[in-house]
Amino acid sequence: GAVVSQHPSRVICKSGTSVKIECRSLDFQATTMFWYRQFPKQSLMLMATSNEGSKATYEQGVEKDKFLINHASLTLSTLTVTSAHPEDSSFYICSAKPLRNSNQPQHFGDGTRLSIL
């Protein structure tokens, strides 16, 4: 089955640090990848849609200069949390979709637990 690898699984770092999270589709090409965030006891919220070769589309209230997304290839999207602060501590999870506008489901990575001290 389709596998999405997300790395790292856990990050603990000091306030002001920039953190990069990678999302890779291992056995399929993904023209579209999604980044979600989940705060404790809350639902997963879509942050942005990452399209290969073009700029990401951000959801309302998500700062594009804070959360940099790069989707340079059909198998890799990266999310960089710039100058992270304690309020950015959350569970970040990506998903990848093989084809745009297809009936195929999104496949999720295992998530990244980010803790900013």
Partner 1 sequence: KQEVTQIPAALSVPEGENLVLNCSFTDSAIYNLQWFRQDPGKGLTSLLLIQSSQREQTSGRLNASLDKSSGRSTLYIAASQPGDSATYLCAVLEGGGADGLTFGKGTHLIIQP
Question: 4: which residues sit within 8 A by CB, 6+ positions away?
Answer: 23, 24, 25, 26, 94, 95, 96, 107, 108, 109
**86 three-state secondary structure:** helix
For partner 1, give the closer residue by CB, 35 or 116: 35
Distinct helix (H) and strand (E) counts, the chain: 0, 11
* In the complex, least distance from residue 73 CB atom to partner 1, rounded to whole angstroms: 19
Which of 13, 44, 62, 74 is in the footprint of partner 1 by CB under 8 A?
Answer: 44
For partner 1, give the closer residue by CB, 18 or 33: 33
Which amino acid does the sequence have at 115? S
Which of 24, 25, 32, 88 is in the footprint of partner 1 by CB under 8 A?
Answer: 32
For partner 1, give the closer residue by CB, 83 or 91: 91
